Amino acid sequence: MSRFLNVLRIWLMMTSIIAAGYSLQSFRDHTFLYENIYISKPDLVNGLQARTFGVWALLSSVVRCLCVINIHNKTLYCVTLWTFFIVVGHILFELFVFGTVAPTINVMALFMVASISILGMLVGLQHLEAESGSRQKKRN
């Protein structure tokens, strides 16, 4: 396995742990969301919305962790990549369309981590394709 894919696996594991942390915080106390993310309209954040956010974060965490374990599974890899696209889309919609988030350090950190993850996974996809090509040549 290439060195880049090993670094990407470490990065994905870190994002998985971060997502699990967001999930636990959302289940524990819904004020976490309106104090850190949805600060522009905190009255819209309630326990149900926080738990829904927590379930999404937990699902993202599990998908990313599974990708770390089996990074050569292209379907799982693409699903993991989509988790980051969904985060970026969610942040952009909440910022520019719904106005529930402000460009605070917490929101920008989420946006940057997701954006860097997208770039890293797109580069990693090329490494995976190169590896699968070299495996095919060895088999022939």
Tens digit of pLDDT for each residue in 26-73?
A: 999 989 898 989 999 999 999 999 999 999 999 999 999 999 999 999
Cα gap 45→87, rounded to integer Å = 18
- Which of the four pLDDT bands, split at 50, 70 and 90, describes residue 137? low
The whole-angstrom distance between residue 34's C-alpha and the CA centroid of its chain comes to 20
> Domain span at residue 34?
3-139
pTM of the model: 0.90
Q: How far is CA 99 from the centre of its chain?
A: 22
Q: Which tokens go with 69?
A: 């374990």
d(CA 59, CA 36): 20
How many residues are listed for the chain in this entry? 140
Count: domains in the chain:
1
